[in-house]
């Protein structure tokens, strides 16, 4: 196994988020004929963008569900080398409890990836510099489906939003870990071993995350690298896993709740108070400034500034509440242990985010009162959330269950993530959302939080290296 990143064999979406390719489509596909599908895969393989390229026009990437790999013809002894989290997916009852997918977000209500929807085998990710080129690329790819055993299940379109803000009005995509070996400048706290995100490299434990393998005779063309185990070839090398979840965002509900929670005694609305409460739930102001650096007003620091801590700057949560979204999703040095240990623990549960928003923005710029007074619409808007991680259980699932959905995270009580968690309690069929804001003296307690987001579809995907893609296109079942 190599410690120098083999960028030519790694799919580029793992390496970069394509901010210069703002147009994107995500295409969900199923395999109807494995022989034809493998022929189609051989054709599409030529278009897959490797990590050593910086495309200026377009990029294409591909990933597979567990059932999709089976549909291509992978043998049972190969399939059993994949992790159980990948095989189980997100729709089983124990995963529903683990991830908090209840009520409207329950898998039986999903539009794709659920138990009552058509099977999803392949995720095709298309990126382009503009909508025209994106649609042209999509049309060309669709023409190749004919007669090759590939059926389109659903097209997930995306939207380029104003100033890179997500639909609730907050700057998105700010805090991302840096992969060691990419020659990017960052502080040690935010630099993670490549094995956290790419199979075949050492992770933060100084070990290699187990990846799928194939018996050497199965790889008759010797397309895959040799595994460390005898007579096995490495199917996982330079690959990773994607946790894909489609979130519908209820923007009017979000700002109506902020208005009600901050309403003045005379019945009027205080827009600044609405923005502050929303920012306290997020942990940043709309422009991305962390509350730790500027607790009382927006615009205190540059939007991309992540050089802050919690332990010394805000130990009591008086600036950024303990339950705030960014404090839960990346606790940094604030866990109940010494600083170095806290950072080391957190680094073992980070993810790379590659999501894109979909649907039209409610307003061109953040104007909560406009959102509050906006007429209800059937137009859906939301986020296609994509998490890249080498270990689904230790990274995405731990983050979701241990930090986002956990009511007792870091000393809290009956508080889940106020922004993205499901507050529905399956035991008593009640919604119990609570958010506390620490203050000098009495704290503020916000109750009856609704679900601002709803899961519309979800699945786990394996995103192979390019040599592994060549093997999959030529595998003999």
- Does residue 1 belong to any structural domain of this protein? no
CA nearest to 125, candidates 58, 72, 53: 58
Other C-beta atoms within 10 Å of 230: how many? Answer: 7
- Does residue 403 belong to any structural domain of this protein? yes
220 and 253 in a single domain? The answer is no
230 and 312 in a single domain? The answer is no
64 and 174 in a single domain? The answer is yes
- Does residue 2 belong to any structural domain of this protein? no
What is the token pair recorded at 13? Answer: 């979406």
- Does residue 157 belong to any structural domain of this protein? yes
**CA 66 from centre of chain:** 18
433 and 320 in a single domain? The answer is yes
Domains: count for the chain = 2
259 and 240 in a single domain? The answer is no
Each residue's pLDDT, cut to its tens digit, for the chain (477 residues) gives: 557 999 999 999 999 999 999 999 999 999 999 999 999 999 999 999 999 999 999 999 999 999 999 999 999 999 999 999 999 999 999 999 999 999 999 999 999 999 999 999 999 999 999 999 999 999 999 998 878 989 999 999 999 866 678 999 998 878 889 999 997 778 888 999 999 999 999 999 999 999 999 999 999 899 999 988 779 999 999 999 999 999 999 998 999 999 999 999 998 899 999 999 999 999 999 988 999 999 987 766 555 577 889 999 999 999 999 999 999 999 999 998 899 999 999 999 999 999 999 998 887 677 787 777 766 567 899 999 999 999 999 999 999 999 999 999 988 888 999 999 998 877 655 666 899 999 887 789 999 999 999 999 999 999 999 999 999 999 876
**Which range of residues forms the domain containing residue 320?**
249-350+364-385+393-457
271 and 227 in a single domain? The answer is no
Q: Report the alpha-carbon distance of residue 213 to residue 216 in Å, rounded.
A: 9
Looking up tokens 């189609």 gives 40
210 and 302 in a single domain? The answer is no
200 and 282 in a single domain? The answer is no
Q: Report the alpha-carbon distance of residue 450 to residue 164 in Å, rounded.
A: 26
């Amino acid at each position: 196994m190599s410690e120098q990143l083999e960028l030519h064999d790694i799919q580029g979406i793992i390496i970069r988020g394509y901010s210069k390719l703002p147009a994107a489509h995500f295409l969900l596909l199923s395999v109807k004929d494995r022989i034809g599908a493998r022929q189609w895969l051989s054709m599409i393989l030529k278009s897959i963008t490797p990590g050593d390229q910086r495309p200026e026009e377009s990029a294409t990437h591909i990933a597979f569900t567990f059932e999709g790999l089976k549909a291509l013809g992978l043998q049972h002894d190969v399939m059993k080398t994949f992790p159980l989290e990948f095989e189980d997916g997100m729709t089983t009852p124990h995963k529903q409890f683990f991830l908090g997918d209840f009520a409207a977000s329950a898998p039986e209500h999903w539009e794709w990836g659920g138990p009552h929807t058509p099977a999803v085998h392949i995720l095709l990710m298309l990126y382009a510099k503009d909508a025209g080129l994106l649609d042209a690329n999509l049309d060309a790819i669709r023409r190749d489906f004919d007669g090759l055993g590939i059926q389109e299940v659903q097209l997930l379109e995306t939207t380029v939003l104003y100033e890179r803000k997500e639909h609730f009005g907050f700057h998105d995509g700010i805090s991302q870990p840096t992969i060691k070996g990419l020659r990017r400048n960052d502080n040690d706290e935010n630099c993670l071993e490549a094995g956290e995100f790419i199979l075949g490299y050492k992770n933060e434990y100084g070990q290699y995350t187990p990846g799928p393998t194939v018996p050497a005779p199965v790889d008759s063309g010797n397309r895959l690298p040799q595994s460390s185990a005898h007579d096995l070839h490495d199917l996982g090398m330079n690959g990773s896993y994607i946790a894909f979840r489609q979130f519908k965002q209820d923007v009017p509900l979000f700002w109506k709740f902020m208005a009600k929670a901050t309403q003045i005694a005379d019945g009027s609305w205080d827009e600044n108070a609405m923005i502050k409460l929303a920012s306290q739930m997020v942990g940043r102001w709309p422009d991305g400034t962390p509350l730790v650096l500027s607790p009382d007003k927006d615009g205190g620091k540059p939007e991309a500034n992540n050089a802050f801590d919690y332990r010394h700057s805000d130990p009591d949560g008086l600036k950024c509440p303990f339950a705030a979204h960014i404090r839960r999703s990346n606790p940094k040095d604030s866990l109940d242990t010494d600083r170095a240990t806290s950072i080391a623990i957190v680094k073992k549960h980070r993810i790379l985010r590659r999501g894109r928003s979909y649907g039209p923005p409610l307003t061109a710029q953040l104007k909560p009162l406009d959102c509050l007074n906006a007429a209800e619409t059937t137009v859906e808007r939301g986020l296609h959330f994509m998490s890249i991680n080498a270990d689904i259980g230790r990274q995405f699932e731990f983050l979701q269950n241990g930090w986002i959905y956990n009511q007792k995270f870091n000393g809290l009580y009956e508080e889940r993530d106020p922004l993205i968690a499901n507050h529905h309690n399956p035991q008593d069929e009640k919604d119990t959302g609570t958010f506390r804001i620490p203050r000098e003296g009495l704290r503020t307690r916000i109750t009856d939080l609704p679900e601002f987001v709803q899961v519309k579809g979800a699945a786990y995907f394996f995103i192979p290296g390019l040599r592994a893609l060549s093997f999959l296109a030529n595998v003999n079942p």
